[in-house]
Amino acid sequence: MIHPENALPQGAPAGLARTDFAPDFVWGCSTSSYQIEGAAAEDGRVESIWDRFCARPGVIRDGSSGALACDHYHRWPQDLDLARDLGTNAYRFSVAWPRIFSGPGAKPNPKGLAFYSRLVDGMLERGLQPWLTLYHWDLPQYLQDRGGWNERATVHAFAEFADVMSAHLGDRVKHWITQNEPWCTAIHGHLDGVHAPGMTDFKTALQVSHHVLLSHGLAVPAIRANVPGAQVGIALSLHPLRPASDSAADRAATVRHDGLRNRWFLDPLYGRGYPADVLRQLGADAPAVQAGDLEAIAVPTDFLGVNYYFPETVADAPASLPMQTRVVAAPGVPRTAFGWEVAPDGLTSLLKRIDADYAPSTMFVTESGSTYDDVIGPDGTIADTERRDYLAAHLAATRDAVAAGCPVKGYFAWSLLDNFEWAEGYLRRFGLTYVDFDTQERRLKDSGKWLRAFLGGADGSQRTGTHAGASAAYAPDAHQDRIKPAANSQQTSIT
């Protein structure tokens, strides 16, 4: 049910300090393999769905690909130095599946395993806690050629991948994220077609969503078997929603939209199965679910990763299938260069909604970031004031959620580096560090310098393993999870 108090108020933090957070709060940056690594044809890496997708004319706005990206495969020591010098104590990265397996029945690639072993060792040497994401969208093309995530065989291939990686790195990596943003894998990759593999079939997208969730369910016990004391979770892209008006039609549309946007993933993960109201709406398009699937998906986890970027305003749209809804632009709100609404209080309300409706024992903000049109000044600096203020406001929103009782234990900024931004190519920059993609020069932006001062990194004296201690305050410029039962998840609040 949607309540008037769930509106998304605007406003910047009046003040913010490192001491607002617990001494053991996890501070990190997130990255992903295809977006930064490059080295697309080195050391036994095979083609991914993104390599194939980027070769299609017109699908990437600037005609580029991640073949080189940030050349992180060769420059990772420099990049980990950047993360360390920011004062972070954790680093979230993903493994390129095509670096590990070259085909059906193939043995793991020793050179691929060795790269990630060096990378993890480099994190530990710099006091960075490794947070490993198994899947951030770069499926091997040989699996896509056999049906990709639409086939259950890919689920079992992922479980094998999880087993191999956790056996190889589990002596050093204790924090594992199985899947990053299943909604994007399913919807962007298989319904609207703006992501690899570029398909546009709704029934396929729904089956993909189920198989991605099932792969999570099979990966968790594989990781636990190899890694004593492992902390395992999943990262979801979630959005607070509001109706476009107070009309009954728009309010009902917002419930429907929430069903596929948020509850379709949260409900099965927390033991409720797929939402009954959404299944009724889907009809024959609903995915095939085999006996035992829902029990596997609801495997107990240790945390929920929340990726938050923007809220959505929803209107009733009877002709817009499948959910008869459409997202409309809220008037008079600040936006990033991507056109995304800037609403830090949406993060607070989202975290509170998840805590109230699903009660995860622990949450981490595993992605939050913004893209603006960065300009290098005559003195070589990048004065990205808007990104700095965005970061500070969302840290304040996280603080407010913690103060309200939400078990949020860490925040990962997206991203450490400017990188290959999927269908946008290199036109959108999310990094705290500017990357010149012609020279591969890295240059810390003012937002990164602010975070460094806030965390006491580099030239500061506050950096410890947990970053205990105070740091500079900020004032903006003028500008195993417990399951909370629910008889019918349709009645949960939408914030």
Residues designated as active site: 181, 367
Burial of residue 67 (CB within 10 Å: 0-12, 13-18, 19+) is middle
The tokens describing 292, both together, are 């035992």
Return the sign of the alpha-carbon dihedral for residues 311, 316, 320, 325: positive
**What gap in Å lies between CA 194 and CA 61, rounded to an integer?**
11
Which residue is associated with the tokens 């710099």?
126
Alpha helix (H) residue ranges in 413-463: 446-455
DSSP state string for 482-495: PP---S-GGGS---
Return the sign of the alpha-carbon dihedral for residues 1, 271, 324, 137: positive
The tokens describing 413, both together, are 């900024």
Alpha-carbon separation of residue 330 from 177, 178, 249, 334, 353 (angstroms): 33, 34, 17, 10, 21
The tokens describing 196, both together, are 């690899």
CB atoms within 10 A of CB 436: 11
Longest dimension (CA), the chain: 64
Secondary structure (3-state) at 20:
helix
| 129 bridge partner residues | 90
* Pairing label, strands 303-307, 363-367: parallel
Q: Strand order of the sheet with strand 312-316? A: 241-243, 312-316, 325-328
Of 396, 415, 235, 394, residue with least CA distance to 307: 235
DSSP state string for 220-279: HHHHHHHSTT-EEEEEEE---EEESSSSHHHHHHHHHHHIIIIIHHHHHHTTS-S-HHHH
CB atoms within 10 A of CB 98: 26
Which residue is associated with the tokens 């990763």?
305
Secondary structure (3-state) at 133:
strand
**What gap in Å lies between CA 108 and CA 235, rounded to an integer?**
26
Cis before 415? omega within 30: yes
Secondary structure (3-state) at 94:
strand
DSSP state of 341: B
